[in-house]
Structure 1
Amino acid sequence: MSDEVREMIRSALADEPASGLEFERVVQDGRKRRARRLGVLTTAAVGVVAVAAVAVSGTFAPSPGPPAAVLSTSPTSVTSSVAPAPGCTAPAMVGGYPEQPRGSATPEELAESARLTEAFAGFALPLPAGVEATPLRLCVIDASWGGDFRLTGDRSVIVYTRPLGGQPPGECLRFIPESQCSIKALPDGSTARITVEQGAGATLAFADVWRTDGTYVRVMETGGTGSRNRVLDDDRLVAIATAPQLKVQWVGRQVPADPSARRAAELDQVLASALPPGLTVERALPSDEAVLRFRIRQGGYRAAANLADAQGRGLTVVTVDVPRDGEPTCRDRLTCRLVELAGGRKASVETTTKEDGVITSRLYRRAADGSWLTVETSNVADIGPAGNRPTRPTPPLSEADLIRIAELPGLHW
């Protein structure tokens, strides 16, 4: 099987936690964060302070890490005497945030990074007795800011903040029976969503808060493989997420609604009658319905299934991604061309044929609301005895089918 089709299959069929983040990636990122840190928390007799020296030059760029900080030994909180530090930028490949850091920052974003870091240094963290924390630097992500601090033991906390951007509060999502999710209204009118994922590797706990002061904050506690015991309970996570010091003084861009199971079900209905006559959806499990069903994947919606007819079986994937700027382009790809859709909009269509006979066709377009649609089809099924060989002569969907699906009126964010 070609690398292109293998990646298409892998990305289409893998599930993820309700948070919109890949579970194993978050766990691995937690291990990397701790490995990069040179700080050590030491606890002595009662009345002796703990000293934490944290070097974050391997985590954030370009600013150097903050100086050593004296941490309180109070049984309920910790404060830091870190001197004001310049703004910082999260590297492009650092994970653990709702979006990938772009790896660069404007002077205004760096100034907000410095302001947020200095403000949060004065916040009393609601920690259990005997628990200490390293300082937090809130670095530029992408018109948003985030960073992490380590707790005594093997747990870390990732903090992310951005302008609310008009985004409505998110809904609960559950992908596995062990997932726990609850939503509650806070006294000031803000909305908090608590999600706990008991994965195979570690326990993740999230507090997402849509605040009435125009700020969205996510606080996530995580740990390395095998780390299951939480340090911060739900109330402590919410207390951090509602800290006044995390209010962003930034206008920002409009933010669409979070993906939801409700919207995924609506998109299922859009695709219900979209397949050409004669094609059937292959059940992945005997208990599955024979329909193309959307799942939340990488912060968007994705439906993937093998389609079958008398010619054989082939994979088809339909993706609806978050609205953003831009237009489809082929750049210099010789196998790609732009086609005109209804209403004068453009789409890029690309078909590749490999030496082993694997054919993949992909259409990419931007919908009227700004969301990005991808419709892909291949003459290779995702499972079965064929191995590296095509499972039908051509993909199950033609180019005309790809265009027709991409133009469905209800197929958007």
Structure 2
Amino acid sequence: MEYDYLIVGSGLFGATYACQATRQGKKCLVIDKRPHLGGNVYCENVEGINVHKYGAHIFHTNNKEVWDFVNSIVPFNRYTNSPVANYHGKLYNLPFNMNTFYQMWGVTTPEQAVAKIEEQKAEAVTKMKAEGVSEPRNLEEQGLCLVGKDIFEKLIKEYTEKQWGRKCRDLPAFIIKRLPVRLVFDNNYFNDAYQGIPIGGYNKLIEGLLEGVECKTNTDFFKSEYHDWCKYAKQLVYTGPIDEYFDFCYGKLDWRTVSFKTRVEDTPNYQGNAVVNYTSHEQPYTRVIEHKHFEMFGQAVYDCPKTVVSEEYSTEYKEEMDQYYPVNDNKNNLLAEKYRALAENEDGVLFGGRLAEYKYYDMAPIIEKVMGLVIE
């Protein structure tokens, strides 16, 4: 056999696995059906700006070992994720913090903010009790019980409906188990100690992880000679959709996906922030990404005379689209468990990553998981 590992997919799981295996003297072949490497973290350079082709990716972690590892591949910048919500033209800081509560109600102290939230939460609970209900029956009731009417209706309800393509009353309550409320003036979206973007874009990270690794793009595992992988490698690392691997024998898993309308604007600064969420149905898109703000700060924003923005649209997955988010309802969770049981008994194959595990991952946990695997 020519290779120790055939790795299907060059996203973060596959690329990190290839890096770790190669460092241990193993020979790997990475194949990807897309025309580029990197999976969904791939960036396309437009007007000197690294455009996150498959949506905004911000690396964040509390794990210093993971942070040191990725920075040993490529140094990361100081980007801090501080999105803004636009509701009918009014702007609110995210995550929900004292800036948000001041913008919402004019309150200036944590005590005033808590009183307002608790008052509105109590109204929601009282309404449910009047209907003879003790526990939230759906996402809408859950949201109202967690943060009250104003925050839920302006910043959560319609945005969530656009994301899921369903009314909040038709979504299960367990989708939102908690909503973080910060009683400080802090717009940093993440609580993690380490956060940033690779200097020069995510392609630099992928190139570093795959240095010295043989890679083939435009190669569909299921339509290539490598489908009979035992002829080529001792083991298979599979990061594609788990249901497709087993030829959809139990049926197809459902996904949500996103699409983008990207354009160049003839201005150095379009919206003043990398991410602006549009939380009402007034706009069909969920957010607008201005890519230069991930890597350009201060005067550098204006030294680059143009900018690139992407409108992001959430939609139901259809054939030939990219799968993004698992649909965590009872039907799909039960179906995924059946496929995972098959995967556990598949000799010589490691299933890993979002598609192969039918589980949503942030970037850092993917790398952390691979770093914890024993490579033989």
Q: Work out whether the TM-score is over 0.5.
A: no
More contact order relative to length (CA 8 Å, sep ≥ 6): 2
TM (normalized to structure 1)?
Answer: 0.19
Compare CA radii of gyration and give the structure with the larger one.
1
* Bigger fraction of residues in strand: 1
TM (normalized to structure 2)?
Answer: 0.21
